[in-house]
Chain A
Amino acid sequence: MTGEVLAAVSGNVTAIGYGLAAIGPGIGVGIIFGQGVNAIARQPELTGVIRTNMMLGFVLTEALALIGLVAPFLFQSLK
C-alpha cells in the first residue's frame, strides 16, 4: 500500500484557492445583511441610514472575495 495515492485533485488548483477565499467573506456578508435586516426591523424609520452602512460593510467584506478571484490570474501571469 505504500506510495499509493488515496486522493488527488486534478484540474486547476486555483479554483480551490478561490473556494477557500470565499468562505470568510461569505460568512461576513451573511452576518452584515442579517444584522442589517434585524436593525431595520427594530427601527424602520432609520432604514436609509442602515441600508447605506449595510452596503458599505458589504462592499468592504466583498473585497476579500474579489481579491481571491483575481489572485489566480495574477499568479498565472507571474510564472
Chain B
Amino acid sequence: MNALTVLASSGGEEFQAPGPELFNFRPLFDGGPAWLTKPTVFAVFGALVVCVFCWSAFAKPKLVPRGIQNIGEMGYVFVRDQIGKPFLGRDTERWMPLLMSLFFLIWVWNIFAVIPVIQFPIASHIAFPIVLAVAVYFIKVYLGIKNQGPVKYFTNLIPKGLPKPIYILLVPIEYLSTFILAPFTHAVRLFANMFAGHMILAFFSLVGFWFLFEKPTALGFGVGIIGVVMTILMTAFEMFIQFLQAFLFTMLAAMYINSGLHADH
C-alpha cells in the first residue's frame, strides 16, 4: 500500500501508473495490416510536413525573402551555423541537405508529442531512431573508407606515439566506442528521451485526471491539482527537450560525417 492508494477512494480500484503499454498500438482498422498503426501513419505525415514546408519555403526563392521563406531561411542558417560549421567547416554546404532534413524531420516527429490529437513522439518507437542512426553510421564508414583508404581509416582511429602497453587498453576501447557504442547511443539517446518524456507527460496528466475526475476525494484533490500543474510545466520542458534532441542528433550526425571525411589524429 503506498501513498497514492491511501488517497484514492476506499474500496475502488487503486491508481495505476501508466507503463510501456502506452506505446503499443492496434492496427488502425480491424483486419488491417499489423504495421499500419498510428505511429507509422504520423511518421509519414511528419515527413510530408517537412517536404511541404521546405517546398513552400525554397521552391521559388526571392532575393528579398517573404513569408514562409523567412522562416525557412532562419532554419537553414541555424542548422548551418550552429550544427554544420563547427564540425564540417568547409564541407558544410555539401552536407546541408542531409543535416537540414534530419534536423527538421526529427524535430517535427518530436513536436508531435505535444500536438493535440496526435500526442505521440514518433521517435519513442526505437525503430525510427535506429533507421536514422544506421543511415548515418553507413555514411560515416563509407566516407571513411573512401576518403582515407580501407586500411588507413581503421589505423587513423588510433593515436600514435603512446607507450606500448597503453595500446592493449586503448585499441579495443577505441574500436568499441566508434563502431558499436557510437551508433547505439546515437539512436538510443533520441529514443530514450522521447520515451521518458512521453511517459512523464502521461503519468502527470493521468494523475490529474484520476484524482480530479475519475475518483475525486477530499484528500486526493490536492494531488490532482499538482498533477495538472506538473503536466503544464512538463509540457513546456518537453518542448525544450524535443528541440534539444533534434539538435543533438543532427550535431552528432555532422560529427560522425566529419570523422569519416578527415582523420582525427
Contact = CB atoms under 8 A, between A and B. Distances in A.
B239 interface: no
A52 B251 CA distance: 9
B54 interface: no
B189 A69 contact: no
Contact of A66 (B82, B192, B247): B192
A63 B188 CA distance: 8
B98 interface: no
Contacts of A41: none
Nearest to A63: B185
B68 interface: no
B252 interface: yes
| Shortest Cβ-Cβ A-B pairs, 4 listed | A63-B185, A66-B192, A52-B86, A69-B192
A66 B188 contact: yes
Interface of A is mostly: helix
Contacts of A66: 185, 188-189, 192-193
A70 interface: yes
A55 interface: yes
A70 B192 contact: yes
A70 B248 contact: no
A59 B248 contact: yes
Contacts of B171: none
Contact of A62 (B181, B189, B247): B189
Interface residues of B, number: 18
Interface string A57-72: 0010011001101100
Nearest to B87: A52
B196 interface: yes
Nearest to A76: B20
Contacts, number: 34
A67 B188 contact: yes
Interface string B241-265: 0000001100110010000000000
A23 interface: no
A69 B193 CA distance: 10
A48 interface: yes
Contacts of A62: 189
Contacts of A69: 192, 195-196
Contact of B86 (A49, A63, A67, A70): A49
Contacts of A48: 86
Interface in A23-79: 48-49, 52, 55-56, 59, 62-63, 66-67, 69-70, 73
Nearest to B193: A66
Contacts of B181: 63
B189 A55 contact: no
Contacts of B86: 48-49, 52
5 contacts: A52-B86, A59-B252, A63-B181, A66-B189, A69-B192
